[in-house]
Amino acid sequence: MEVGNSQSIPDLMNIRDRMLSYRTAINVFVLISYNRNATRATDSWFLQVSVRDFYAPQPPPGTLTNYPACTVLYETPKIGAPYPRVELALAHGTQICDLPISHLYHPETTPILNPILPVSFRINVEQIRVTILNQRRP
Give pLDDT tens digits for 72-113.
Answer: 999 999 877 788 999 999 999 999 999 999 999 999 999 999
Which pLDDT tens digit goes with each residue over 25-65? 899 999 999 888 888 888 899 999 999 998 888 888 888 77
Q: At a CB cut-off of 8 Å and minimum separation 6, what does 83 contact?
A: 9, 33, 35, 44, 45, 46, 76
Strands (E) in the chain, as ranges, are: 2-4, 28-35, 44-51, 71-75, 96-100, 120-124
Please tell me the distance from the alpha carbon of residue 58 to that of residue 24, in angstroms, as a whole number.
13
Amino acid at 7: Q
pTM: 0.89
